[in-house]
C-alpha cells in the first residue's frame, strides 16, 4: 500500500529516514520543514519526482495551509501524516522559564496540532496519522520539564484524535522513541549523558532513525490496519525496564 504522505520535520533525522523509507515503498512524500539548510541537504539525498520539499514553520497556520495547497496540487489529497517536527531542550525545572516552556510546547504540541488539523481536513475518508512522541512523554526524565510536557500532551492528543477520527477510517497512533542518533540528540547528549542512557536501556545502545522509520511505516501501512490510538515505543526496552544488571 502507498499513497501521499506529509512529513513535518522531514528534512532531518527521524523524519528524513521516514521520507526515504516511504519513497522506497512507492509513496509520494511532501516534506514540511522550517530549516532551509536541512531542506537543501534532503533535496540532495531524496532526489526524485515523488517528493516535494516546502520550507514551512509548523507553528504558522497560514504557512501550513499554503504548503498543503502545494502538496495537494502535486500529489492529490494526503493519505498519511507524520508529525516529526520538534525541538528538544535539557534544562532543569528550576532554570526553565515560561518563555522556553511556551516555545517547546508551541513547536512540539501546538505545531503538531496545526499540521494534524489542516491535513486531516484534507483527507478523504481513510488515512493514517503518526505523531512522533518520546519516552520522555511518559517518564519523568530529568531536564525534560518542557519537552516531556509537550510529548505527554502529544500522547493524549493522539488518543483523542484516534477516538474521534476512527469512524472516518482515519487511524491515529504515536511512536515513542528512546534516544536515537540524530542531529538533535548529537547536540543534546554529551559523553556522560550517553553513558547514563545506555546503562538504562536493555539493548545497551542508541537507536537509528531507520529503526523508528520502520515503526512509523508499519503504523501508516495496511499492516497496521486495526491499530488505532496506540503508542508504540521504539526504545530498546527503556520503558519496559526496571532495575538492570550492570555490565
Ligand X SMILES: NC(=O)c1ccc[n+]([C@@H]2O[C@H](COP(=O)([O-])OP(=O)(O)OC[C@H]3O[C@@H](n4cnc5c(N)ncnc54)[C@H](O)[C@@H]3O)[C@@H](O)[C@H]2O)c1
Q: Does residue 131 bind ligand X (CB under 6 A)?
A: no
Q: Does residue 180 bind ligand X (CB under 6 A)?
A: yes
In terms of residues, how long is the chain?
247
Q: Does residue 118 bind ligand X (CB under 6 A)?
A: no
Near ligand X by CB under 6 A: residue from 3, 5, 6, 9:
9
- From 219, 216, 220, select the one nearest 79 (Cα to Cα): 220
Q: What are phi and psi for residue 66, nearest 5 degrees?
A: -65, -40
Q: Does residue 38 bind ligand X (CB under 6 A)?
A: yes
Query: Which region, judged by CB under 6 A, interacts with ligand X, from 97-105, 121-129, 176-184, 221-229?
Result: 176-184
Dist CA 115 CA 8 (whole Å): 8
Output the smallest distance, CB 84 to ligand X, in A: 5
Contacts (CB under 6 A) with ligand X, residues 39-58:
56-58
Between 203 and 225, CB nearer to ligand X: 203
Between 74 and 188, CB nearer to ligand X: 188
Q: How many CA atoms lie within 13 A of 67 on its CB side?
A: 26
**Number of helices (H), then strands (E), in the chain:** 9, 7
Residue with cell 519516552: 135
Dist CA 51 CA 42 (whole Å): 10
Between 216 and 225, CB nearer to ligand X: 216
Q: Does residue 71 bind ligand X (CB under 6 A)?
A: no
Neighbours of 183 (CB within 10 A): 14
Residues of this chain that bind ligand X (CB under 6 A): 8-9, 11-15, 33-35, 38, 56-59, 84-88, 107, 111, 132, 134, 177, 179-180, 182-185
Residue numbers annotated as active site:
147
Amino acid at each position: 500500500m502507498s499513497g501521499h504522505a506529509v512529513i513535518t520535520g522531514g528534512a532531518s533525522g527521524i523524519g528524513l529516514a521516514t521520507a526515504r523509507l516511504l519513497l522506497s515503498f512507492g509513496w509520494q512524500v511532501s516534506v514540511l520543514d522550517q530549516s532551509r539548510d536541512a531542506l537543501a541537504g534532503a533535496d540532495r539525498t531524496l532526489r526524485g519526482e515523488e517528493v516535494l520539499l516546502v520550507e514551512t514553520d509548523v507553528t504558522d497556520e497560514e504557512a501550513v495551509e499554503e504548503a498543503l495547497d502545494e502538496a495537494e496540487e502535486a500529489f492529490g489529497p494526503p493519505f498519511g501524516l507524520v508529525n516529526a517536527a520538534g525541538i528538544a531542550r535539557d534544562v532543569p525545572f528550576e532554570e526553565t522559564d515560561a518563555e522556553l516552556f511556551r516555545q517547546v510546547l508551541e513547536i512540539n504540541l501546538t505545531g503538531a496540532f496545526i499540521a494534524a488539523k489542516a491535513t486531516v481536513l484534507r483527507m478523504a475518508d481513510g488515512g493514517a496519522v503518526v505523531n512522533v512522541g518520546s519516552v520522555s512523554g511518559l517518564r519523568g526524565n530529568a531536564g525534560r520539564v518542557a519537552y516531556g510536557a509537550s510529548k505527554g500532551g502529544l500522547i493524549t492528543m493522539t488518543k483523542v484524535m484516534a477516538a474521534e477520527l476512527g469512524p472516518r477510517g482515519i487511524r491515529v497512533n504515536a511512536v515513542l522513541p528512546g534516544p536515537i542518533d540524530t542531529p538533535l540528540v548529537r547536540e543534546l547528549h554529551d559523553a556522560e549523558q550517553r553513558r547514563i542512557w545506555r546503562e538504562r536501556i536493555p539493548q545497551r545502545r542508541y537507536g537509528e532513525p531507520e529503526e523508528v522509520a520502520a515503526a512509523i511505516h508499519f503504523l501508516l501501512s495496511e499492516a497496521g490496519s486495526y491499530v488505532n490510538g496506540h503508542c508504540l515505543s521504539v526504545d530498546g526496552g527503556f520503558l519496559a525496564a526496571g532495575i538492570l544488571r550492570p555490565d
